[in-house]
Amino acid sequence: MDEFALGVLTNIALFSFLALSAYLLLIAGEMSFGQQAFFGVGAYAAGIGTAMWGWPMPLAAAFAMALGAGTAWLVGLPTIRLRGLYFAMATLAAAEMFRILFELLHYQREIDGDLVGPDGTQGFRGIRWVLERGFEPHEYLALVTAILALVLAGFALVARSRLGARIRMVGEDPELAAVFGVDVARLKLGVVAAAGALAALGGALYAHHNTYIEPRNFDIMLGVHSLAYGLIGGLGTAAGPLLGVLIDIGLLESTRVFQGWRMVVFGGLVAVLLIVRPRGLLDEAVVNRIKRALSTR
Amino acid sequence: MAADFAQNTLDGVMLGSAYALLALGFTLIFGVLRRANLAYGPAILLGAYAATWANLTFRPGQFVLALVTIAGATVAGAYVERLCFAPHARRTRSRDAAAIASMVASFALWMQLEELATLWLPKHLYSFPPLYDGPPLALGPLTLRVEYLAMLVCAAAACFGLHRLLSRTRFGLAVRAVVDQPDAARLAGINVPRVMLLVFALASALGGLAGYLIVAAHEQVTPMLGMWSTLKGMIAMMLGGLGSLPGAVIGGVALGLLEAHSQWLAGPQYRDLVAYLVLFALLAFRPVGLWAMLARKPAAAD
Amino acid sequence: MKRAFALMLLVAAPTAALGQRLDAEVDCKPTKHDLVYDCRVVLKEVKSGRLVSGALLSIGADMPSMPMAHNIKPVRAEPGAAPGEYTARIELEMFGDWALKLNVRGPVRDVIVKKFSAREPDR
């Protein structure tokens, strides 16, 4: 595979973390415009960990996930009661605050004759841990894909468990869930923190792939795209958001078939698709049909 | 110091009237449909681009440019309604899910309209003829730009006019019937889809007017106008309280004041930080919005 | 899959850093075609300032405001006349701020990211 194809596949895998993070909240009945903030928190935290504090990447990634979960939990605490557009706007406001804080963050250190660290709007260059360990692009792609496979396995396990059933119940009818004895606010806060950790993990991997990040990476466009991927691909299974990323980044963006008209085509396609299938291609009905077809074999 | 404070307050109110105009259109849509139209700003962008194109091609007068902007935004807004909102209006089984589908569809059309605009006029920045070429008005030691005064007048007039329209006319009665009891309205012979489309067109026309006044005041158009309009309109609406017309004006002016003072005190980055912080705090702790807090009553539309 | 797990274990063990950090001067000039730029790159070591010739250099680009979404096919740069100099012709997708990603291979391995602002010509 050439450098270009590897780059596209790596981008698809990295974007999937963020799309899965938004999807996790969607099935719990909340629409977040702010998951890009925790992707950013993860990217900055892991970058600072390896490039400035000399930590090995697994430790830095764990730190990033903890910080992502913690900040998401803090944002969720006062907003978890909100629904619909209120929650969406509150998460958007929080995410924009994070982006501006990244712009205000100046923390640099000299390493090997080079100034390394976040430099406000000038960005954070020199996140070289992966590069310096001699990873080839296909090896890093394998690593990211393996971690993504683990995450998907986790989603599959939860989907079959009582916890998964509870999350979907809260998403569909929180009042009913409360009647059945589910602590709705606590469960949602847990989901918010998990989604934050997942986004932060993606951010950590992104920062080390790119070696360079800047505050503008983490603006609202990124968040709303990741939200849209879940709805395009379908909310019935965790494969849905992946399908969404694959269609947009893999098919439309990278093949260049529509050249400058990509967004014109994609935008119209999504709007029409949502009329026919308001919960995406792989919605609950399709997933159930597939499951039944598989189980009768 | 006192003069600075007064000037900043005045600037804030003026800037806020632009936000208020944007928020009025947004609020009209949200109040009636209970759904957010993310493509609101990009429809305005398309109107502004149509006017920019007309300006480059024919050099017409200001009045024509204003009409072209409003017409462009209205057509684009009606297109968004047909594709993103009308098809999801009847899904009553799960209102939340339909609202999310509408919103994401409107985001998809945001991307589409923005790209259409940049394919039409690819430059990063176009100049736009000024609404008024003279010096700003002097009020003692303070200065006031005429364009912004026009926005303030328009915002007040639009708020008053919309209120009259909704409370005194047959159309307004139909709109209120659709808001309160869509099914009963349908049984009473009201053409609900037509009312929705008209509300959308009216809101987009208001957005177009706001967009025209804003680009004529800035004397330039960039593709950022779309996102900027959606965000500022939405924030002002949320600050004021969802779905209330006076709330939209109060929210807009509050946002303008907040931005003007924090920019003067701490610079542009802190300006946005403060605006988002206040929005976040208000949503978290007083989600009814400023208008309901001032008027000591629950938000009108909820 | 197995290989990836082996890699995950491998990354936990720190290995020696590879050679010197590189820096680059990048100068991209517009051509008569919109969005097509002729770029001149000078590679050198950060610490010693020594020019680096004979490397394999490819240049990719993405937009910081749309991370992971703009995939410009990386182009191979040709060695230039002067020591440490390389030239490449890049084609971008739209006007705006880009991050050029310089991928260096050969005797040294490094990735350098440089910002580049593509502005439309005034006509």
User: What interface predicted TM-score (ipTM) does this complex get?
Assistant: 0.91
Best of B124, B125, B221, B224 to substitute, by most chain C Cβ atoms within 10 angstroms, is B124
The share of chain A scoring above pLDDT 70, in percent, equals 99
Looking only at the bridges linking them, the beta strands covering A114-118 and A109-111 are antiparallel
Rounded to a whole number, what is the distance in Å from the CA of B17 to chain A's nearest CA? 21
CB of C81 less than 8 A from some CB of A: no
Backbone angles phi, psi at B171, to 5 degrees: -60, -45
Is the pLDDT confidence value at B42 over 90?
yes
* Residue that has been written with the tokens 């100046």 in this structure: A106
**Cα–Cα distance between B116 and B119 in angstroms, integer?**
5
Rounded to a whole number, what is the distance in Å from the CA of A283 to chain C's nearest CA? 25
Burial readout A246-263 (b: 16 or more C-beta within 10 A, e: otherwise): bbbbbebbbeeeeeeebb
pLDDT number for residue B188: 86
| Cβ pairs bridging B and C (under 8 Å) | 10
* Candidate from A19-28, A261-270, B90-99, B219-228 with smallest mean pLDDT: B90-99
Which band of pLDDT confidence, cut at 50, 70 and 90, is reported for residue B302? very low
Backbone angles phi, psi at C20, to 5 degrees: -95, 150
Would you call B112 and A82 a contact, using CB atoms and an 8 Å cutoff? no
Structure tokens, B131 = 């609404």
CB of B122 less than 8 A from some CB of C: yes
- Chain B: touching chains (3 or more CB pairs < 8 Å): A, C
Rounded to a whole number, what is the distance in Å from the CA of B49 to chain A's nearest CA? 16
* B203-249 residue pLDDT tens: 999 999 999 999 999 999 999 999 999 999 999 998 888 778 889 99
Contact residues on chain A for B285, CB-CB shorter than 8 A = 78
Is the pLDDT confidence value at B15 over 70?
yes
pLDDT number for residue B31: 84
Is the pLDDT confidence value at C13 over 60?
no
Contact residues on chain C for B118, CB-CB shorter than 8 A = 94
Residue A234 falls in which region: left (phi positive, over 0), alpha (psi -120 to 50) or beta: left
Nearest Cα residue in chain C from A263 = C69
Would you call B287 and A220 a contact, using CB atoms and an 8 Å cutoff? no
- Which of residues 225 through 244 in chain A touch C, CB cutoff 8 A? 225
* Candidate from A52-56, B97-101, B124-128 with smallest mean pLDDT: B97-101
* A183-228 residue pLDDT tens: 999 999 999 999 999 999 999 999 999 999 999 999 988 998 999 9
CB of A31 less than 8 A from some CB of B: yes
Contact residues on chain A for B287, CB-CB shorter than 8 A = 82, 86
Is the pLDDT confidence value at C11 over 80?
no
Rounded to a whole number, what is the distance in Å from the CA of C41 to chain A's nearest CA? 18
Nearest Cα residue in chain B from A268 = B109
CB of B163 less than 8 A from some CB of C: no
* A227-286 residue pLDDT tens: 999 989 998 899 999 999 998 888 777 777 777 787 888 888 889 999 988 888 998 888
Average pLDDT on C46-55 reads 89
Average pLDDT on A129-150 reads 94
Backbone angles phi, psi at A183, to 5 degrees: -80, 95
Would you call A263 and B112 a contact, using CB atoms and an 8 Å cutoff? yes
| Nearest residue to A34 (alpha-carbon basis) of A173, A185, A177, A219 | A219
Would you call C94 and B123 a contact, using CB atoms and an 8 Å cutoff? no
In chain B, at which residue ranges do the beta strands (DSSP E only) sit? 126-127, 137-139, 142-144, 220-221
Would you call C120 and B118 a contact, using CB atoms and an 8 Å cutoff? no
Nearest beta carbon to residue B112 from set A31, A227, A264: A264
B97 vs B224, more confident: B224
Distances (CA, A) of B15 to A247, B10, B162, B218: 41, 9, 21, 11
Average pLDDT on A76-87 reads 90
Rounded to a whole number, what is the distance in Å from the CA of C122 to chain B's nearest CA? 9
Which band of pLDDT confidence, cut at 50, 70 and 90, is reported for residue C19? low
Average pLDDT on B109-133 reads 90
- Beta pairing partners, A30: none
Average pLDDT on A285-292 reads 89
- For A75, the enclosing helix (H) or strand (E) is helix A57-79
CB of B123 less than 8 A from some CB of C: yes
Mutual orientation of helices B192-218 and B62-80 as an angle, nearest 10°?
A: 140
Average pLDDT, chain B: 89
